[in-house]
Structure 1
Amino acid sequence: MTNYPVEMFKYHIWANQTILGRIKQLPPSVLSQEVNSSFPTIAHALSHIYAVDKMWYLVLTGTGMPEALQMCMPLNGSILASVDEYVNSFAELAGQFEEWLESQSDLEQTLLLDNPYAGIRQTRLSEIVLHVVIHGTYHRGNISTMLRQLGHASTMNDYAFFWYREPVERFL
């Protein structure tokens, strides 16, 4: 039986790698070119995705949300110098998430989430994982728009394309 939160997180990793791979094909300056969009630069958007992913990872591994937010706020404004640095940062965090996911026997268990912006609620671990995926998808869309505004094509990173990432031979 497929564990859909885990499968969706695999999609999140793939989609991040896909968009970063596209950005890596472009001139290095594309990372820091200013654009009139949700973020001033693509680097800012990538830093935001990373910071939020890291914050939720900390929450999932036992850090209170107020503390996790405090720890990750500086990451949101921390602009890395190259696409390779983003690739490495995302890959390292993805590995940590994967280890955590492998160690979980029940993603439907809850934790008491103390969200400083929204209040306290019981939240399933699976809901948090899915939120990480949805948040990343939303901002990868921003990045695709930013690339187009800068005169570059983006790349397809929809979930439906993730389905086809494996060689067809596997299914024959």
Structure 2
Amino acid sequence: MKTIQKMYEHLHWANQRILETLQSIEGENPEVNRLFSHILFGERIWIARLQGLDSSRLPIWSEVDIAVCAELVRQNEESLTTLLTNITNTDLDKIIFYTNSKGTEFKNSVRDILTHVALHGQYHRGQINSRLRADGMEPVNIDFIIFSR
């Protein structure tokens, strides 16, 4: 559980660093905002699934501005912190059944879902950094080791 907790501390830190960078950019970058909101909507979907709620109608890709992203960052951090505070090592092996947006049913352990969410966000934050660099901006250093220092 300690490793998962640390992964989520890093997730929140990395989301906040990306958010602050995107807020500081003059003008909107629709593709970067779309990638960032995808990370955040994905987190919302998995939070709902872990809470036993229907996530099939929640958006996964959406055109939103940075203000909406900022609110999602806040909401997701609050929800995930609460979820992780109340979870036990035994809960990590619990199987969650859920339906995706296409109506297909799946099942995964809480441990696998939590791992997926952390890795999914890191993948797309890397894509954001690639887009920032392509636009002549400095990428955001979100390496885990930097966080750990």
Tell me: CA distance 1:121–1:45, structure 2 relative to 1, closer, same or farther (3 Å): closer
2:134 corresponds to 1:155: no
Q: Within 2, Cα distance between the matches of 1:114 and 1:126?
A: 18
Cα deviations across residues 18-70 of structure 1 (Å, max 9, x unaligned)? 1112222321x1433xxxxxxxx11111121111111000000002xxx4032
Normalising by the residue count of structure 2, what TM-score does the alignment of the two structures yield? 0.86
Q: In structure 2, what is the equivalent of residue 94 of structure 1?
A: 77
Counterpart of 1:145? Answer: 130
Give how far 1:114 is off: 4.4
Which protein has the larger Cα radius of gyration, Structure 1 or Structure 2? 1
Aligned residues: 147
CA RMSD, Structure 1 to Structure 2 (Å): 2.2
List gaps (5 residues or longer) in structure 1. Answer: 33-40, 165-172
The change in CA–CA distance for 1:89 and 1:100 in structure 2 (over 3 A counts) is same
45, 48, 62: which one aligns with 1:55 = 45
TM-score by length of 1: 0.75
Distance (whole Å) between structure 2 residues aligned to residue 110 and residue 159 of structure 1: 28
Q: Distance in 1 between matches of 2:101 and 2:67?
A: 33
Deviation at 1:17, TM superposition (A): 0.7
Could you say which residue in structure 2 is the equivalent of 1:69?
A: 56
How far apart in 2 are the matches of 1:5 and 1:121? 22
Kindly indicate whether the alpha-carbon contact (under 8 Å) linking 2:95 and 2:107 is maintained by their aligned counterparts in 1. yes
Runs of 5+ unmatched residues, structure 2: none
The structural deviation recorded for 1:126 is 1.5
Identity %: 22
